[in-house]
Each structure stands twice: as C-alpha cells, then as structure tokens.
C-alpha cells in the first residue's frame, strides 16, 4: 500500500513539475513570439518614403540657411535655431535608417540633391542677405514652409512612429516662427504670414 502511495505521489509530483515546465515554456514562447512581432518593421509606402526623404533635405535647407545668415548678420537667433534644425535632421536620419532608405542630405553646406530645394536655398540666401530684416523674415517664411510640408507628411503616413516624429518637428517649427517674429518685433517690424492662414498664424503666435 505504501509503495502504491509513493508511486502515486511521485506521479503527481512529476505531473506538476511537467505542468510547470510546460507553462513556463509556452509562456516564454508566447512572449518571444510577441517580442519578435513587435520588432517587425512595416515598410513605408512610396508616398511616405518620398515625403520622409524630402523632409530630411528640407530640414537641412533650414539649417544651412540659418548658418549662412548667422555668418552674415551675427544674430544669435539664427545660430540657436540652426542647432535645433540639426536635431530635426538627426531625427529624420534615424527614420531613414530604420526604414532602410538612402540619405539624400549632402555633407556640404548649401548643396542639395533635390534641385527644387537647391533653387529655393539660393533664392532664400539672396533675399536674406539683403538686410537683417530680410534675413529674419526669410527665417519666419522658412518655418511657415516647414509647417505646411510637415503637416502634409503627417497626412500621408499611417505609421505612428512617423506621425509622432513629424508632430515634434511641427511644434519645433512653431517655436522657431515665434522666435523670428519676436526678433522682428524687437526691430519694430510686424511680420505678416506669407503662406499659412492668418487664423493659424494668430493661434501659433498667441494673438
């Protein structure tokens, strides 16, 4: 009788141990499956990839213009915002790397892969070099351009990580616009929006 009891107890103990091991294994396997699934990156669509590539160079345009205008006028507003634009560029470079896309940004200041951005850069530099007021106005206009294009980038993507990054860039552009408007006001100049609606402009500036 005792032998039978010991055998039964051993069987129960063994089954319990096996159950625990099975639970651990299946739980671990399920976790691993979830973990692998969570690391899978869905490719960007053609429109998303095109917009990300464009935005990377457009942020470079802003940075390069501000660096040039700081060298021209020596106003710290240009220098401070150019550093912020570098951060924006870095953010978009990480996204290009994540989605295995080539980087269009040239290492040389003022040189662009996109011919339209090259022409725009040349135009903005020519205008901003005429006077400090023109330079500050160019800065404000660039931020308006950025906001419009960033919003378009948000509209064409379904990737939450991209939307989050673009939204952060959008808030940065709003801050930059405020800074340029404030700098112009310090010189007695009232800036008027060139591209965005007056309603949106007033909301951003806080009027």
Across the chain, mean pLDDT equals 86
- Residues of the chain with pLDDT > 70: what percent? 80
Do 109 and 133 fall into the same domain? yes
Residues 86 and 15 reside in one and the same domain: no
Cβ atoms of residues 112 and 121 within 8 Å: yes
User: Residue 122 and residue 169: Cα distance in Å, rounded?
Assistant: 24
Please give the residue that has the higher pLDDT: either 47 or 1: 47
Q: Residue 192 phi/psi, 5° resolution?
A: -115, 135
171 and 71 part of one domain: yes
Whether the pLDDT of residue 25 is over 60: the answer is: no
> pLDDT per residue over 85-140, tens digit each?
999 999 999 999 999 999 999 999 999 999 999 999 999 999 999 999 999 999 99
Same domain, 129 and 170: yes
Q: How many domains would you assign to the chain? A: 2
* Greater model confidence, 73 or 1: 73
Fill in the DSSP letter of residue 10.
H
Residue with the larger pLDDT of the pair 204 and 38: 204
Residues 92 and 21 in one domain: no
CA distance 141 to 114: 20
User: Is the confidence at residue 188, as pLDDT, over 80?
Assistant: yes
What range defines the domain where residue 150 resides?
46-205
Domain co-membership, 138 together with 187: yes
Q: Are residues 53 and 15 in the same domain?
A: no
CA 88 to chain centre: 6
Contacts of 137 (CB under 8 A, 6+ apart): 128, 180, 184, 189, 191
Which residue matches tokens 């802003």?
62
CATH of the domain at 123: 1.20.1260.10
Model confidence at 41, pLDDT cuts 50, 70, 90, reads confident
Per-residue pLDDT tens over the stretch 148-166 = 999 999 999 999 999 999 9
């Amino acid at each position: 009788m005792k032998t039978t009891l010991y055998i039964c107890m051993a069987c129960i103990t063994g089954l319990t141990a096996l159950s625990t091991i099975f639970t651990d294994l299946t739980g671990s396997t399920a976790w691993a499956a979830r973990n692998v699934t969570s690391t899978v990156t869905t490719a960007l669509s053609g429109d998303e990839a095109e917009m990300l590539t464009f935005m990377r160079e457009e942020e470079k345009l802003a940075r390069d213009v501000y660096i040039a205008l700081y060298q021209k006028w020596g106003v710290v507003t240009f220098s401070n915002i150019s550093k912020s634009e570098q951060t924006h560029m870095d953010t978009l470079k990480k996204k290009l790397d994540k989605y295995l896309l080539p980087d269009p940004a040239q290492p040389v200041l003022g040189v662009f892969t996109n011919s339209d951005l090259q022409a725009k850069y040349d135009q903005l530099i020519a205008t901003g070099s005429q006077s400090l007021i023109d330079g500050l106005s160019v800065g404000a206009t660039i931020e308006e351009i950025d906001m419009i294009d960033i919003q378009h980038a948000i509209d064409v993507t379904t990737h939450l990580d991209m939307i989050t990054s673009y939204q952060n860039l959008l808030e940065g552009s709003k801050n930059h616009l405020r800074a340029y408007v404030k700098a112009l006001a310090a010189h007695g100049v009232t800036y008027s929006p060139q591209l965005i609606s007056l309603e949106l402009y007033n909301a951003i500036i806080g009027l």
